[in-house]
């Protein structure tokens, strides 16, 4: 039984780590601006497209850092052009702008690629096969959870022990008072978008190493699942986003293997096609969380003074 379940668990932990790197971007932006950055999944996709094209002209040891840098710059430009001018506008305006940025990125990639699948370059070492407890997988599956936890830990340290982190926490608690106290709000928000986009680019390298092709809609489903993970963990909480992402990744992959597991247990005689519901589970979980605990596992309740 362990040999049957373990490969799905392993894959789920890996995918959960990749969702976590995207979810952190959602939760950071929401924590400061109270805005859901719907374009974040497309930033993740653009990082994959940049890797595809740049790897044809440059060696990978130059391409990977350059993709991380360019993706961070894209995050900065999105905040500067699409969100900053709407800082004092109603929240709905910023949300519509986020949706507009999302479709703009998708259409730019559609124009560049013609809608054809782009094959992701094979990255040495992390693409290599490895056997763990009888299961064959790739090195990226092993590396992802450790790298995710390291980056999340480094981000928590930055937020708790640096001036930038102190400014982020202050802006998150009280936007207007932070401005009056002399905190440079624009710099803090730009830094938030840069960090979130950088982590999305790291997640993109890990994710597309396993999935191998990129198209203009490749960021939609991972982005939505990462958003659900952020809500599940308590949007605004970085540890919550990471834990939520790992739980969703594991459950999603166990559902994909549910037919095999039930067959091995002798509970079913033939496949029932239960893997079809792996995506539906994620969004069903979101509905349950919003009904039972709207703030998520680690979210804080916000009270308004009257």
Q: pLDDT value at position 104?
A: 95
Q: pLDDT value at position 306?
A: 45
Say if CB 3 and CB 135 are below 8 A apart.
yes
Q: Which 3 state secondary structure label does DSSP give 129?
A: strand
pLDDT band at residue 303, thresholds of 50, 70 and 90? low
Q: How far, in Å, are 165, 171, 213, 247, 257 from residue 20 at the CA level?
A: 20, 23, 21, 10, 22
Instruction: Give CA torsion, residues 130, 120, 5, 128, to 10 deg.
Output: 0
- Please indicate, yes or no, whether the overall pTM of this predicted structure exceeds 0.85: yes
User: Which of 229-233, 263-267, 282-286 has the largest mean confidence?
Assistant: 229-233
Q: For residue 194, what is the enclosing H or E element?
A: helix 185-211
Helices (H), 59-184: 60-78, 91-113, 139-161, 163-173, 175-180
Provide the CA 141 distance to its chain's centre, in angstroms.
16
Mean pLDDT of 168-187: 86
Q: For residue 45, what is the enclosing H or E element?
A: helix 40-54
- Residue the block writes with tokens 């840098």: 69
Q: pLDDT value at position 19?
A: 94
Residue 247 has pLDDT above 80, yes or no: yes
Residue predicted with more confidence, 282 or 148: 148
Say if CB 241 and CB 146 are below 8 A apart.
no
pLDDT band at residue 176, thresholds of 50, 70 and 90? confident
Q: HSE-up of 52 (CA within 13 Å, CB side)?
A: 21
Residue 1 has pLDDT above 60, yes or no: yes
Provide the CA 240 distance to its chain's centre, in angstroms.
13
Say if CB 1 and CB 246 are below 8 A apart.
no
Per-residue pLDDT reduced to its tens digit, 64-117: 999 999 999 999 999 999 999 988 888 888 889 999 999 999 999 999 999 899
């Amino acid at each position: 039984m362990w040999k049957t379940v373990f490969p799905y668990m392993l894959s789920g932990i890996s995918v959960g780590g990749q969702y976590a790197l995207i979810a952190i971007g959602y939760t950071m932006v929401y924590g400061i601006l109270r805005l859901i950055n719907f374009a974040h999944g497309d930033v993740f996709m653009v990082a994959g497209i940049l890797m595809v094209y740049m790897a044809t002209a440059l060696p990978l040891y130059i391409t990977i850092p350059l993709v991380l840098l360019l993706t961070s710059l894209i995050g900065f430009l999105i905040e500067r052009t699409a969100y900053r001018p709407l800082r004092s506008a109603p929240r709905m305006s910023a949300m519509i702008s986020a949706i507009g940025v999302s479709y703009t990125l998708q259409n730019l990639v559609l124009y560049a690629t013609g809608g054809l699948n782009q094959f992701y370059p094979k990255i040495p070492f992390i693409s290599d096969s490895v056997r763990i407890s009888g299961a064959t997988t790739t090195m990226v599956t092993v590396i992802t959870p450790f790298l995710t936890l390291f980056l999340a830990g480094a981000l928590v340290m930055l937020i708790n022990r640096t001036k930038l982190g102190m400014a982020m926490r202050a802006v998150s608690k009280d936007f207007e008072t932070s401005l009056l106290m002399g905190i440079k709000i624009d710099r803090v928000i730009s830094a938030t978008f840069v960090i979130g986009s950088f982590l999305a680019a790291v997640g993109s390298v890990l994710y597309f190493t396993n999935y191998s092709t990129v198209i203009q809609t490749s960021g939609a489903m991972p982005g939505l699942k990462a958003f659900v993970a952020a809500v599940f963990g308590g949007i605004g909480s970085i540890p919550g986003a990471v834990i939520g992402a790992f739980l969703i990744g594991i459950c999603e992959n166990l559902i994909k293997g549910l037919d095999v597991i039930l067959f091995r247990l002798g509970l079913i005689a033939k496949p029932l096609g239960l893997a079809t519901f792996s995506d539906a589970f994620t969004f069903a979980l979101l509905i349950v969380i919003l009904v039972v605990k709207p703030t998520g596992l680690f979210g804080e309740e916000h009270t308004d003074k009257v």
